[in-house]
Structure 1
Amino acid sequence: MSGLKHKLYDYLILSGFTENSAKYLNMLALLIALLIAVFIIDYVTRKILVKTFAQFASVSKSNFDDLLVANKVPRNIAHIIPLLVAIRFVPEVFGDFPTFEDVFERGLEVFAIILILWIVRSSLNALKDYLKTLPRFKDKPIDSYIQVFMIFSWLGGIMSAIAILTGIEFIKFVTGLGAISAVIILVFKDTIMGFVASIQVSINDMVRIGDWITFEKYGADGDVIEINLATVKVQNFDKTITTIPTYALISDSFKNWRGMTNSEGRRIKRALYIKQTGVKYLSDADVEKLKGIHLITSYLEGRQADIKTYNNANNVDKNLLLNGRNLSNLGVFRKYIDTYLKQHSAVNKDMMIMARQLAPTTQGIPLEIYAFSSDKRWENYEYIMSDIFDHLIAALPYFDLEIFELPSHGSFKA
């Protein structure tokens, strides 16, 4: 290039150009030649490097090299060689123009910083995609860690670029930033809060990718699909996406259903509201009639014998049912529910099964069913719960009980 530079300059002088014009034309021609050479070198290097990586990836057993190609790591690395060529020959092109030479050299140094950041970012994205294919990292907030690293990398890169452009030593430039640290903290407040929250979420294992969470404040009810530095993305069950600030996971209350997912069953907790006027003691005739229900036959026989023994031993006058010990239709129905649930094939027998009476309300007496379905899948869980309550609602009339309902128009017809 040096020999070419002088030959072109001498030719222009011999052709009658002034010395100043010859310098500018010489510089322009050399710059065009350098740009063409750089683009050719970049094209050839990129083609060779990308093709080599692709061929290696096709025969490799690991998918990490495939991800490197997909994230354009070889393509970014290929820019290094033409950049070095440009840095090497810029002094030759702008030898007669020190100011231009200084500007272009600083520009190339800044581009080198940007290129390094591109390579780091694409490499980290490839690493992120690879880790997400490994079972033990699928539920980890890898995006958050990479974003934190890239924020510091870009911050360092920007400070280095500013130091280069201003001609200030990097150490002195960083030292001077201490004076405006308050402004930096204010500008990056959300980023800092998100970073701290991401660390706490990860260390305390509060949320993982794939967890079902309910966050009423933000209207989120679905599966976590992404955790990054600033936000957590939740795909709701209606397929909409809700975005939650990461720091909200440690500052606000939310429900994580992972415990249910990891357990052996999904809870059924729902009440039947029984009309209070239908509750009564059972006469012997009523008990005999209910003995026809197989699930409680043995229970009724045993309880009836115990009650008769007690009442006879205490000379209880049973002409009035209120005296002594008695069975009630609500109590027998509660026992029927308990027995029915314990024999239901879809109810987990190793977890709590209970039919309990809650405090009476203006809408009747709540008879709550508390049990766990063996199948935790949403569709099947709803089917199991509906099947149980279909049966119990249909069984109520056999016990002379009714579900409480608010009056409707039909209730007032004569």
Structure 2
Amino acid sequence: MDSIKHMLFDYLVSQGISESTAKYLNMLALLILLLLIVFIIDFIIRRIIRGAFTQFAIKSKTNFDDLLITNKVPRNVAHIIPLLIALKFAPIVFFDFPESDVVIETGLQVFAIILTLWIARSLLNTLKDYLKTLPRFKDKPIDSYIQVFMIFAWLGGIMSAIAIITGIPFLKFVTGLGAISAVIILVFKDTILGFVASIQVSINDMVRIGDWITFEKYGADGDVTEITLATVKVQNFDKTITTIPTYALISDSFKNWRGMVNSDGRRIKRALYIKQDCVKYLSEEDVDKLKNIQLISSYLNKRQKDIDSYNANNEIDKALFINGRNLTNIGVFRKYIDSYLKNHSAINKDMMIMARQLAPTTQGIPLEIYAFSSDKRWENYEYIMSDIFDHLIASLSYFDLEIFELPSNSNFK
């Protein structure tokens, strides 16, 4: 080793060059030689490892090894041997310059930490990409867990690097951080909140990638495309992207449409507001006229018989409609809606079908339609709902009913 340390030094001194200059020239020559050796070995090892991985990937049936190459795992691993060679021979190169030797060795140790983090990141990215190809993990927030691990890894790496640079033992350095833990918590507040939120979102299965969510506070209404430690990306139906803080999913209220998507139908829940002053009892002539409507003709026949029988048995005075039992136009129309929905080809008959009257309002009496369309696609769903209400609005006049609407200028004229 001694002969290598002064490989050029003795020759330069023998040629009349001063010892001081000879030391610098000797160090420079050894440094250039070491760099050449390191770069050559790094190049050769990279080619060998990458070639071996490529050959193995070609023969392998899984795509995990392909992802290792894509994420540069072989390339990063190949740097280990050249780094060990540099650490081994750096003291020889800087033998006559101990202060520089300390700086270089410290720099190489810090680089070793960075290289370890690169390798860890490459492996984790490979694992992330591989898990995303598996159906059972496709909708899980894998990115969040990878980011959490890398944050702790980088914190550990930074603390180790600082401990090496300052010369403080690692455990002693970590212990000293307790004094500034409050500052660290403040700086990484969003990261900590995001980490906790990611765990709760995953455990409670609140949101998956691909879910349709509506988050009115952030103006989001679309499909979840990405879940990370800090943010959730939603592609809205107008193709814009909304970014939501991950912790907002557990601190605020939002709507997840997954239940509807996984169900057998999409809910239709909308009301017609009927003018109160057009509601009336139906005379026999009115009932006979409505019997021409096929969907309710059998209902009217049966219902009229029951009512007539009740009134006759109880000797009801029918001089006034209010006495005894009678049919009303709004009640018959409600029955018509129910029959119409049950006979509609686009309505799921296995789910709830209901036409109900809600409490009267200043805008009239709400008749609400509650049913489920078989087709859940947005465009088709809107078409089905519009088709139903087009028909019902046009049907109102047959029952002597009117829709309430605020007066316009033409009304005043």
Q: Deviations over 1:128-159 (max 9, x none)?
A: 11111111111212111111111111111111
2:202 aligned partner: 202
1:164 aligned partner: 164
Q: Deviations over 1:305-347 (max 9, x none)?
A: 1111111222223233332211111111100100111111221
AA paired with 1:177? L
Query: Residue 7 of structure 1 aligns to a residue in which SS?
Result: coil
AA paired with 1:29? A
Query: Residue 25 of structure 2 aligns to a residue in which SS?
Result: helix
Query: Residue 344 of structure 1 aligns to a residue in which SS?
Result: coil
Find the aligned partners of 2:395 and 2:56 in 1 and give their Cα distance.
70
Shift of 1:5: 4.5
1:280 aligned partner: 280
Say yes or no: does 1:385 pair with 2:385: yes
CA RMSD of superposed structures (Å)? 1.6
Q: Deviations over 1:364-413 (max 9, x none)?
A: 21110001112222122112111111111121111121222222233334
Q: Deviations over 1:200-244 (max 9, x none)?
A: 222222222222222211111222222221122222111212111
1:10 aligned partner: 10
Q: Deviations over 1:186-212 (max 9, x none)?
A: 222222222112112222222222222
Find the aligned partners of 1:141 and 1:49 in 2 and give their Cα distance.
32
Find the aligned partners of 1:125 and 1:289 in 2 and give their Cα distance.
74
Shift of 1:2: 6.0
Find the aligned partners of 1:268 and 1:384 in 2 and give their Cα distance.
9
AA paired with 2:52? T
Q: Deviations over 1:263-320 (max 9, x none)?
A: 2221110001112222221111111111111110110000111111111222223233
- Tell which deviates more after alignment, 18-27 or 85-94: 85-94
Say yes or no: does 1:335 pair with 2:335: yes
Say yes or no: does 1:408 pair with 2:408: yes
Find the aligned partners of 1:344 and 1:405 in 2 and give their Cα distance.
28
- Unaligned ranges ≥5, structure 1: none
Shift of 1:88: 1.7
2:359 aligned partner: 359
TM-score by length of 1: 0.96
Q: How does 1:2-401 map to 2 (within 5 A)?
A: 3=3, 5-401=5-401
- Whether the 8 Å CA contact 2:87–2:105 is kept in 1: the answer is yes
Q: Deviations over 1:18-67 (max 9, x none)?
A: 10001011111221222222222222222332232223223321111111
Find the aligned partners of 2:403 and 2:36 in 1 and give their Cα distance.
87
Shift of 1:4: 5.0
Identity between Structure 1 and Structure 2 (%): 79
AA paired with 1:368? E
- Unaligned ranges ≥5, structure 2: none
Change (3 A) 1:82 1:142: same
AA paired with 2:390? D
Change (3 A) 1:2 1:336: farther
Aligned residues: 413
- Whether the 8 Å CA contact 2:7–2:26 is kept in 1: the answer is no
- Tell which deviates more after alignment, 126-135 or 3-12: 3-12
- Tell which deviates more after alignment, 52-61 or 100-109: 52-61
AA paired with 2:257? W
Change (3 A) 1:150 1:365: same
